[in-house]
Structure 1
Amino acid sequence: MSQIKYIFLALFSLGLVIIAVILQQVGYQGISFLPCPLCILQRIGYLGIAIFCFLAASFNPLRKLFHAMAALSAAYGLSVAGRQVWLLSHPETSCGIDPLEIWINQFQLVQGLPWLFKADGICSAKLPAILGLQLPEWSLLWFTFFLLVLAVTFFKKLPK
C-alpha cells in the first residue's frame, strides 16, 4: 500500500475519533453522547489504527510490521464494537454502571485527557440513531472497513 493511502487511513480514523468527541461535547438532537467504557476502548482502537498507519507511512523498512499492527488494532476495535452492538440488542444483560468504567477511569491518561478518555455512559443505552444506525453499529461498520482494507492490502507488494 502506498504512503498516501496509509496517511488517508490514519486521518480517516482520527476523523472518526473527532466526530465521537464532537458528539460527546456538542451532542446530537439535543442529547449528549456520553462515552461508555466500550466506547473508550473503541477510541483506543481507532487511535491505534491511526498511529500504526502513520508509522507505516513513515518507516518503509518496518512497514509490514506497522501494517499488521494497524490490522490488529482494527480487529480489536471490531471485537469491542461487536460486543457493544450485542449489548444494544440484549439490554437486559447490562447492569447499569460497568465495572470496566471504574478500571478505565483510574488510568493517568484519563486524568490528563478526560474529554477524550473518561467513561461516563452506559454501554447498552439507546441513543438517537444517526442515518438509521446507532453509534456502535457505525463503529462496527468502520472497523470492518479498516480491517478489510488492511487485510486485503497486507500481501500486496511494497512500493519502492
Structure 2
Amino acid sequence: MKRTPYLILSIFSLSLVIFAVILQQVGYQNVSFLPCPLCVLQRVGYLGVAISCLLAAGIPILRKLFHGLAMLAAGYGVAVAGHHVWLLSHPAESCGIDPLELWINQLQVANKLPWLFKADGLCSAKLPAILGLQVPEWSLVWFAILLLVLLITFFKKSQA
C-alpha cells in the first residue's frame, strides 16, 4: 500500500476518536455520552490504528511492521467492541460499577488527559441510537471495516 491510503486510514481513525469526544462533551439528543471503560479501551484501539498507519506512511522501510501493528490494534478493537455489544444485549451480566473503571482511571494518561481517557459511564447503559445503531455497534462496524481493509491490503501484491 502506498503512503496516501495509510494517511487516510490514520485520519479516519483519529476522526472517530474526535467524534467520540464530541459526543462526550456536547451529547446527542440532550444526553451526555459519558465514556465507560470499554469505550476508553476502544479509543485506545482507534489511536493504535491511527498512530500505526501514520508511522507506516512516514517510515517506508518499516511499513509492513506498522501495517501489522495497525491490524493488531484493529483486531483488538473488534474484540473490545464485540464484548461491549454483547454486554449491551445482556445487561444482567453487568454488575454496575466495572472494576476495570478503577484501573483505567488510575492510569497516568487518564489523569493527564481526562477528557479523552477517563471512564465515567456504565458499559451496559442504553444511550440514544445514532442512525439506528448504538455507539458500540458503530464502533464494531468501523473496527471490522478497518481490519478488513488492513488485512486485504497486507496480503495484496504491491505494484511497484
TM-score interval (norm. to shorter)? over 0.9
Task: Tell me which residue corresponds to 2:106.
Answer: 106
Q: What's 1:23 paired with?
A: 23
**Residue 135 (structure 2) aligns with:** 135
Structure 1: state its 5+ residue gaps. none
**Counterparts of 1:82 and 1:51, CA distance in 2:** 22
Q: Do 1:2 and 1:159's aligned partners in 2 also have CA atoms closer than 8 Å?
A: no
Show the 5 A alignment for 1:18-97.
Answer: 18-97=18-97
Give the TM-score, by structure 2 length: 0.98
Matched, 1:155 2:155: yes
Counterpart-to-counterpart distance in 1, 2:88 and 2:122:
10
Aligned counterparts of 1:83 and 1:68: Cα–Cα separation in 2: 23
Aligned to 1:125: 125
What amino acid does structure 1 have at the position aligned with 2:94? S
Deviations 1:49-88 (A, max 9, x none): 0000000000111000000000000000000000000000
Question: Normalising by the residue count of structure 1, what TM-score does the alignment of the two structures yield?
Answer: 0.98
**Partner amino acid for 1:47?**
L
Q: Give the AA of the match of 1:86.
A: W
Q: Deviations over 1:79-116 (max 9, x none)?
A: 00000000000000001110000000001111000000
Cα offset for 1:155? Answer: 1.7
Offset from partner CA, 1:2-50 (integer Å, 9 cap, x none): 1000000000000000000000000000000000000000000000000
Distance 1:44 1:158 in 2: 29
User: C-alpha separation between the residues in 2 aligned to 1:74 and 1:150?
Assistant: 9
Distance apart, 1:157 and its partner CA: 3.2
The residue identity in structure 1 corresponding to 2:84 is Q
The list of structure 1 runs, each at least 4 consecutive aligned residues, that deviate by more than 4 angstroms after superposition, is: none
For residue 130 of structure 2, give the secondary structure of its aligned residue in structure 1: coil
3-state SS in 2 of match to 1:120: coil
SS in 1 for 2:34: coil
Query: 1:156 Cα shift?
Result: 2.2
AA matched with 2:138? W
The total of aligned residue pairs comes to 160
Q: Would you say the 8 A contact 1:23–1:32 is kept in 2?
A: yes
